[in-house]
Amino acid sequence: MNALMMTKSMKLAGLTLVLMVLSACEQPAPQTEQPAPESASQAAPADSVSSIDDAGNVAPFGMAARQPVPVPDAEPTAAAEPATATAAASSGLFKIHCVACHGADAKGVPGLGLNLVDSQLVATSSPDELVAFLKAGRAADSPDNVTKVPMPGFAWMTDADLDEVTGYLKSLQ
């Protein structure tokens, strides 16, 4: 008889718990307003990094959201040499994946990406070494990172696409 009463008590307790959970689900969550920061610099401490801006947008490639930086238009140049013309025709992937940080002219965007035209890494690395670098990227805390801004890895790109970007980078030298 005691076992039968315990089973009924356990069923009753379980049913009560389910009803409590269901009634709690019907209640809207309390809304608390938090004052909006007066400026972006007050949004988070200087050493804090966020990948989501005030509007809820997520930064691409998991990179931390940053303040907008004006990107100057590329200056018109004289007629290109044949090697440069070939590279310019194959720089479509650079325009898609690299221009936001390294600029349309590959001379870098202050606070984001380095100048690739004068880059010692690009100048002294073989195409295979550059492909390996592009696949791995570089963490902000890497001892070789002079800007302390992370560079995302592009391991998800095909080898052919990475070869195209590498060829374009080598043509800038």
CATH for 140: 1.10.760.10
Q: What is the CA radius of gyration of the chain?
A: 27
* Average pLDDT rounded to a whole number, residues 137-165: 89
User: pTM of whole model > 0.75?
Assistant: no
pLDDT of residue 72: 77
Q: What is the mean pLDDT of residues 46-60?
A: 60
Domain for residue 29, yes or no? no
Task: Print burial letters for 98-108: b (CB count within 10 Å at least 16), e (below 16).
Answer: bbbbbbbbbbb
pLDDT digits (tens, 9 = 90+) for 110-146: 888 899 999 999 999 999 999 999 999 889 898 988 8
The candidate with the shortest Cα–Cα distance to 128, out of 170, 86, 96, is 170
6 lies in some domain: no
- Asked whether residue 58 is domain-assigned, the answer is no
Is there a domain that residue 17 lies in? no
Containing structural domain, residue 107? 81-173
Calculate mean pLDDT across residues 1-11: 65
Q: Which residue has the higher pLDDT, 98 or 58?
A: 98
Residue 92, domain member (yes or no): yes
Residue of 55, 58, 95 lying closest to 74 (CA atoms):
95
pLDDT beyond 70 at 65: no
Average pLDDT, the chain: 73
pLDDT band at 84 (very low <50, low <70, confident <90, very high): very low
Examine residue 35 and state whether it is found in any structural domain, yes or no. Answer: no
Does residue 5 lie within any of the structural domains?
no
Query: Is position 145 within any domain?
Result: yes
